[in-house]
Amino acid sequence: MALKSFIQVHHDSHFPIQNLPYGVFKPQPHSLPRPGVAIGDYVLDLSEIAKAGLFNGPSLNNSDCFLQPTLNKFLAMGRPAWKEARATLQKLLSSSEPTLRDNANLRQKSLVPMNKVEMVLPTAIGDYTDFFASMHHARNCGTIFVGPQKPIPPNWFHLPIAYHGRASSVVISGTDIIRPRGQGHPKGNSPPYFGPSQKLDFELEMAAVVGPGNELGKPIDVNEAADHIFGLVLMNDWSARDIQAWEYIPLGPFLGKSFGTTVSPWIVTLDALEPFAADAPKQDPKPLPYLAEKISKNYDIALEVQIKPTGQKDSCVVTKSNFKNLYWTLTQQLAHHTINGCNLRPGDLLGTGTISGPEQDSLGCLLELTWNGQKPLSLNGTTRSFLEDGDEVTFIGCCKGDGYNVGFGTCTGKILPAP
Amino acid sequence: MALKSFIQVHHDSHFPIQNLPYGVFKPQPHSLPRPGVAIGDYVLDLSEIAKAGLFNGPSLNNSDCFLQPTLNKFLAMGRPAWKEARATLQKLLSSSEPTLRDNANLRQKSLVPMNKVEMVLPTAIGDYTDFFASMHHARNCGTIFVGPQKPIPPNWFHLPIAYHGRASSVVISGTDIIRPRGQGHPKGNSPPYFGPSQKLDFELEMAAVVGPGNELGKPIDVNEAADHIFGLVLMNDWSARDIQAWEYIPLGPFLGKSFGTTVSPWIVTLDALEPFAADAPKQDPKPLPYLAEKISKNYDIALEVQIKPTGQKDSCVVTKSNFKNLYWTLTQQLAHHTINGCNLRPGDLLGTGTISGPEQDSLGCLLELTWNGQKPLSLNGTTRSFLEDGDEVTFIGCCKGDGYNVGFGTCTGKILPAP
Ligand SMILES: [Ca+2]
Ligand SMILES: [Ca+2]
Ligand SMILES: [Mg+2]
Ligand SMILES: [Mg+2]
Ligand code: NI
């Protein structure tokens, strides 16, 4: 572990100098939001670093991209600017570099204790798309809803299936989730149920944050798709299974999803994830040429879901999965999204779909873990078929390096009762 | 017809003083976009009217809502501001009012010939949703894709089905549409087709433009929903039927739709449409209480679709429908959209779904008109199963008053070949 910061970073921290994930924060409740990177227990205020003239490379010199209330402008600048920012910040924060280390005034202005800041959504999200890229999840959902004969629809192996999600209700980690009301699937010939969802679920996902977009009508080549992805966040695609089951034929999920989607505040860049790249699964049948990529890459990101029931002191781990469990890669998802000419914009969010693994204890949602409520989970002396009011759900994602982590922190939300 | 403008308005015009629809335009190619209303063959520049201090009511006095490049700020202000603007503009443009009529300098600055301006998208669209609210369309699609036994899914009569659409690819009337490429439904056991869509279609729709939104978790009551709707536009939800048929199970339409959606430039307000209100169809079964409204209202808006093949001089009318053909009302759509707590934002677009009527010549898309290509339409000596490259599709919508129209103008787009 060569690189070290002058800031003390505990070996368990998700945010050593090898990571430097980007977010947007308010140092005080009434401050304007501004971009920052996480370093140990601190947030480095990039607006202060920019104002101090320390971004002095060719892309960022004189740019106001870090004086914005979102990261969209920085994201639009693309990989050369991202590489330059990363190099500048790794140098500035390293133990051997005096510029910030020995400047008490600048340290005072630019380094804010993480526990003092309020994180906000890092980007303005023009559109949010959710894929369905884990085969295990597809098979389990198909078995539960359609039956065990042909659980995975025939199109699934030919294209990364996705639907358009709701951008307005994407919220930052820590935002409470109000239990949705709606129509639930009727039993037999009875009229549909109406009331608070009785099958409220989480979905363990990650999401890609789009960098430079594309013009309408101009698809992005799968081998260039990585240059359009800035980084990844954790994402909880909260789902009301009873609402979803009744509404989704024939146009897909709508109100069963759109009441809230939670993202983690720190965007971990693909550059920081690169040491954790892993081969993607072999695809059979071979994908069509527009989806056939020269390098087919996943990332080894360990994922965990905890539930803390109201009033209990301890969380209970309910599943452990890994980003590697995805069948369709991020770059295939992005290329597929644009093959019809659809335009992406900086800050767009591309969810992976629920990341379920092959084992019972690696399933990514309660629908699968409890087999649609038939086999309740035991949880520190209580049980859960679906989420109860007061439950706090926390996702954790982390890559384990040699003596350091590249982590995502947490993505959390608590269920409040329906109105 | 009491009210008359000092501006000559032909009796066939869609834009008499009774209408005054809102749009955003550039008077010159390099001007900044600004709001305007259509009056006869002119656009009244609202930024000039505002700068002249003529919006002097309590809501709009000193507001900069008409100095913006979109209507979003005005939309967010709600019905009191909309009523005030309408009253101010109807007075200012009336034949008996000298303020603008007799001020040559202000007329010169504020009245721009419509054929000289470039119209742009009137709002920044945070989210676009598409409903499925015509029973005739639902029945025909179900018959074609699922079979004649149970063509309409059982949920359809209980809730206004919808899906999230793609906001980034909503374009203004007149924008060319590039034929999408993608995977088409395979025949039998062959691999899926890949290439330019062979079943490119239009969908005759209208869309509601949302005014004030709602907070996440706070549904809008169906009896207050009209106050959240500013007005309506024509909308062409271009659809690639072969792509849609292959991708849509189980998560709904995605790339079969997201390559482009065209809206007309002028938003006709609900206030202007009020004289054309019509009873909505009786609903059986009775809707659940959250969808049961005191007044259930449609509008009598005659709709027409024309296709002009490339190189031909004349358009050919391919269908005539009416907004009255919708089963679920706009207010039910909006209330349903928020019942789970989903937040709407000013400028959001809520498409009605294809507006098909009961007769063969009132069907709203080629899928229905040609019965999935089996019965090609004859078109001025040529035929069409689906759209060909070079075809220009034009929607027209108009309410017929006593001696005047309240019209939407046109919504048009031409098909360019796939890349
Ligand atoms: Ca999902
Ligand atoms: Ca549609
Ligand atoms: Mg969600
Ligand atoms: Mg469309
Ligand atoms: Ni330790």
DSSP B235-284: EE--EEHHHHHHH-TTT--STTTTT-EEE-S-BEEHHHHGGGEEEPPP-S
At residue B145, the pLDDT reads: 86
At residue A186, the pLDDT reads: 86
CA distance A301 to A399: 5
Both A96 and A153 in one domain: the answer is no
B345 and A168 in contact by Cβ < 8 A? yes
CA distance B242 to B389: 16
**Residue B194 C-alpha, separation from nearest chain A C-alpha, in angstroms:** 8
Mean pLDDT, chain B, rounded, equals 97
**Residue B254 C-alpha, separation from nearest chain A C-alpha, in angstroms:** 6
Q: Domain of B103: which CATH number?
A: 2.30.30.230
What is the pLDDT confidence band of residue B189, given thresholds at 50, 70 and 90? Answer: confident
Residue A240 covered by a domain: yes
Higher-confidence residue: A188 or A33? A33
Catalogue the long-range contacts made by A149-153 (C-beta closer than 8 Å, 24 or more residues apart).
Answer: A153/B249, A153/B250
Domain boundary among A62, A93, A118: A118
What is the pLDDT confidence band of residue A189, given thresholds at 50, 70 and 90? Answer: confident
A137 is a catalytic site residue: yes
Residue B13 covered by a domain: no
Mean pLDDT, chain A, rounded, equals 97
Q: CB of B247 within 8 A of CB of B240? A: no
Residue of chain B whose alpha carbon sits nearest to that of A239:
B340
The binding site of B consists of 130, 132, 203, 205, 237, 244, 248, 257, 261, 354
CA-based torsion, A303, A309, A314, A317: positive or negative: negative
CA-based torsion, A254, A129, A341, A343: positive or negative: positive
At residue A193, the pLDDT reads: 92
At residue A188, the pLDDT reads: 83
Reply yes or no on whether the pLDDT at A1 is more than 70.
no
| pLDDT tens per residue across span A351-409 | 999 999 999 999 999 999 999 999 999 998 899 999 999 999 999 999 999 999 999 99
Residue B12 covered by a domain: no
> For residue B180, which residues of chain A lie inside 8 Å, CB to CB?
339-341
Both B299 and B370 in one domain: the answer is yes
B159 and A217 in contact by Cβ < 8 A? no
At residue B187, the pLDDT reads: 86
Q: How far is the CA of B162 from the centre of ligand 2 (A)?
A: 9
| pLDDT tens per residue across span B120-160 | 999 999 999 999 999 999 999 999 988 999 999 999 999 99
CA distance B74 to B66: 7
CA distance A326 to A131: 11
CA distance B198 to B241: 8
The domain total for chain B is 2
CA distance A396 to A393: 10
The helix/strand/coil state of A69 is coil
Q: Is B51 on the interface with A (CB under 8 A)?
A: no
A158 and B337 in contact by Cβ < 8 A? no
What is the pLDDT confidence band of residue B234, given thresholds at 50, 70 and 90? Answer: very high
CA distance A208 to A228: 10
A251 and B250 in contact by Cβ < 8 A? no
Q: How far is the CA of B265 from the centre of ligand 3 (A)?
A: 32
At residue B332, the pLDDT reads: 98
Q: What percent of chain A has pLDDT over 90?
A: 97
Of residues B166, B213, B419, nearest to A164 (C-beta): B166
Contacts of residue B372, defined as CB under 8 A and 6 or more positions apart, other chains included, come to B144, B199, B241
| pLDDT tens per residue across span B290-303 | 999 999 999 999 99
CA distance B232 to A133: 37
Residue to substitute from B164, B168, B193, B290, interface A, most A β-carbons within 10 A = B164
What is the pLDDT confidence band of residue A209, given thresholds at 50, 70 and 90? Answer: very high
Give Dmax (Cα) for chain A: 74
Both B60 and B143 in one domain: the answer is no
Reply yes or no on whether the pLDDT at A143 is more than 90.
yes
Q: Would the pTM of this model clear 0.95, i.e. be above it?
A: yes
B181 and A255 in contact by Cβ < 8 A? no
Query: How far lies B137's CA from each of A124, B287, B298, B306, in Å?
Result: 36, 20, 17, 19
> For residue B238, which residues of chain A lie inside 8 Å, CB to CB?
none
> For residue B337, which residues of chain A lie inside 8 Å, CB to CB?
255
Both A147 and A172 in one domain: the answer is yes
Residue A4 covered by a domain: no
Contacts of residue A112, defined as CB under 8 A and 6 or more positions apart, other chains included, come to A25, A27, A36, A42, A43, A45
Both A57 and A204 in one domain: the answer is no
Domain boundary among B68, B94, B118: B118
User: Which residue in this structure is represented by tokens 């959902």?
Assistant: A141
> For residue A155, which residues of chain B lie inside 8 Å, CB to CB?
183, 192, 246-247, 249
CA-based torsion, A330, A331, A337, A343: positive or negative: positive
Catalogue the long-range contacts made by B295-298 (C-beta closer than 8 Å, 24 or more residues apart).
Answer: B295/B223, B296/B329, B296/B331, B296/B332, B297/B329, B297/B331, B298/B323, B298/B324, B298/B326, B298/B329
Residue A12 covered by a domain: no
> For residue A198, which residues of chain B lie inside 8 Å, CB to CB?
none
Both A255 and A335 in one domain: the answer is yes
Active site residues of B: 137
Both A47 and A157 in one domain: the answer is no
At residue B223, the pLDDT reads: 98
Both A331 and A408 in one domain: the answer is yes
Contacts of residue B180, defined as CB under 8 A and 6 or more positions apart, other chains included, come to A339, A340, A341, B196, B197, B200, B240, B243, B255, B259, B418
Q: Is B199 on the interface with A (CB under 8 A)?
A: no
At residue A2, the pLDDT reads: 72
Task: Please give the span between the terminal C-alpha atoms of chain A, in angstroms, as a whole number.
Answer: 52
Out of A145-154, A353-362, B94-103, B360-369, least confident range:
A145-154
State both tokens at B133.
């609210």
Q: How far is the CA of A163 from the centre of ligand 1 (A)?
A: 9
Task: Select which of A14, A137, A228, A336 is catalytic.
Answer: A137
Q: What percent of chain B has pLDDT over 70?
A: 100
pLDDT average, residue stretch A99-105: 98
How much of chain B is helix, strand and coil, in % rounded to 5?
A: 25, 30, 45
Domain boundary among B94, B118, B142: B118
At residue A146, the pLDDT reads: 86
Task: Please give the span between the terminal C-alpha atoms of chain B, in angstroms, as a whole number.
Answer: 52
The binding site of B for Mg(2+) consists of 237, 257, 261
- Give residues 344 to 403 of B whose Cβ lies within 8 Å of A: 344-345, 348
At residue A145, the pLDDT reads: 86
Structural domain containing residue B199: 128-416
State both tokens at A373.
């409520």
Catalogue the long-range contacts made by B191-194 (C-beta closer than 8 Å, 24 or more residues apart).
Answer: B191/A158, B191/A285, B192/A155, B192/A158, B192/A159, B192/A288, B192/B246, B193/B242, B194/A288, B194/A289, B194/A290
At residue A152, the pLDDT reads: 96
Both A183 and A71 in one domain: the answer is no
At residue B270, the pLDDT reads: 98
Q: CB of B22 within 8 A of CB of B269? A: yes
Q: Is B250 on the interface with A (CB under 8 A)?
A: yes
What one-character DSSP code corresponds to residue B305?
Answer: E
B219 and A419 in contact by Cβ < 8 A? yes
Both B57 and B135 in one domain: the answer is no
> For residue B191, which residues of chain A lie inside 8 Å, CB to CB?
158, 285
Out of A31-35, A281-285, A380-384, B193-197, least confident range:
A380-384
| pLDDT tens per residue across span B7-57 | 999 999 999 999 999 999 999 999 999 999 999 999 999 999 999 999 999
User: Which residue in this structure is represented by tokens 């501006």?
Assistant: B7
Both A101 and A208 in one domain: the answer is no
Q: What percent of chain A has pLDDT over 70?
A: 100
Q: CB of B263 within 8 A of CB of B121? A: yes
Which residues line ion ligand 2, judged by CB < 5 Å?
B 130, 203, 237
Of residues B258, B339, B342, nearest to A169 (C-beta): B342
Both B109 and B200 in one domain: the answer is no
Contacts of residue A149, defined as CB under 8 A and 6 or more positions apart, other chains included, come to none
Q: How many CB pairs under 8 A join A and B?
A: 197
Burial of B150 (0-12, 13-18, 19+ CB in 10 A): exposed
State both tokens at B229.
């709707």
Q: Is A193 on the interface with B (CB under 8 A)?
A: no
> Residue B328's CB: how many other CB atoms inside 10 A?
28
Q: Domain of A381: which CATH number?
A: 3.90.850.10
Contacts of residue B167, defined as CB under 8 A and 6 or more positions apart, other chains included, come to A126, A127, A167, B125, B126, B127, B128, B349
Residue of chain B whose alpha carbon sits nearest to that of A190:
B154
Reply yes or no on whether the pLDDT at A185 is more than 90.
no
CA distance B273 to B398: 10
The type of residue at B237 is D
Phi, psi dihedrals of residue B372, rounded to the nearest 5°: 60, 35
Q: How far is the CA of A10 from the centre of ligand 5 (A)?
A: 7
